[in-house]
Amino acid sequence: MRLLKWLSLAAAVWMIYWSVAAWGLRSGISSWFAEQERQGWQAEFHDLETRGFPFQHNTLIQTPVLADPGTGTAWRADWLSLESPAVWPGQQRLSFASTPQRFSYFDQTFVLEAQDMHADLQLAPGTALELETLALTAGNWRISQATEELFAAGGFDLLMVQNAPNPSYAISMESKGFAPKGEVRRLLQVRRDQPEQFDALRLKANVAFDTAWDRRALELRRPQPRTIDLMLAELHWGEILLRATGELEIDEQGWVNGELALQLENWRSLLDMLESARLLPQGSAREGLEQLLDLLAKLSGNTDKLDARLRFQDGRTYAGPIPIGAAPRLQLR
């Protein structure tokens, strides 16, 4: 009888704890949305509900909407689920609706449909909720605009793991079966014999940011990359192969400085696609760039394969001593 009484007392205490923690989670979410509205955002949802007793807190947010007028970005979905162990809310799983999610940037709206999309977050103790680990995965997914499908893939994996010294992260990304669709293929003027899917699309790098990734990254400003140790960026699409490695620094204006080692096969086809998409200058400027790349390819001993080093300095891009255009800018908004 005494054991039964102690078990009953423990169960009652746990039930009270679970209920109070569930109320705290819902109150925290409601307060966060209200604070974003006070800051000028559109931040709303239809309903909150918490289940999962006795070992989990599963909080379902119905029809969440977030829009930041400062950056012109917005997101809405049918629902978002937050799941965590009852004993530690810092280990969160965010599960996303398989129904359309809408992302907007000013007057452009894109629709994401993804199967089994979820993000596992490990957060450091404290009110800042500093990100220690993020693992984002999805099954089949596609992106469309209006009624036109733009991209599709059979899977996606992103992993961010905090390094020392903070705020630095080891980042890896891979998309399986990535395929440009419809309007994108027409825009790039892709040949009919070009495969539908990429053979590989992956990234591996160590990135140091100017501030930590925590709750302020969503509320105030995105952390900006300051150094990138690029171990591998790879794009393989039929006969086109692009690999890049290098070390880069990014200044406060977002200008990239440093060097990239490039390996590019069938570079003329890629150049044609970039020009078709108006990502390269047309006319004589394109001809000059093609002549330069042809010279660099001949120096490497194979006119279809390019092994070169690009240097970014003072807002310009150089191939050896020759300037070939503006340096890229990298800013997260």
The bridge status of strand 316-319 relative to strand 322-326 is antiparallel
**Structure confidence at residue 21 (pLDDT):** 85
Residue 135 — φ and ψ, nearest 5°? -125, 110
Each residue of 223-261: pLDDT tens digit?
999 999 999 999 999 989 999 999 999 999 999 999 999
Each residue of 48-79: pLDDT tens digit?
999 988 889 999 999 999 998 888 899 999 99
Across the 333 residues of the chain, what is the mean pLDDT of every consecutive 10-residue run? 70 82 88 90 93 91 93 94 89 95 92 96 88 96 92 96 87 96 86 90 96 86 94 94 95 94 85 74 62 72 78 87 83 86
**What one-character DSSP code corresponds to residue 327?**
P
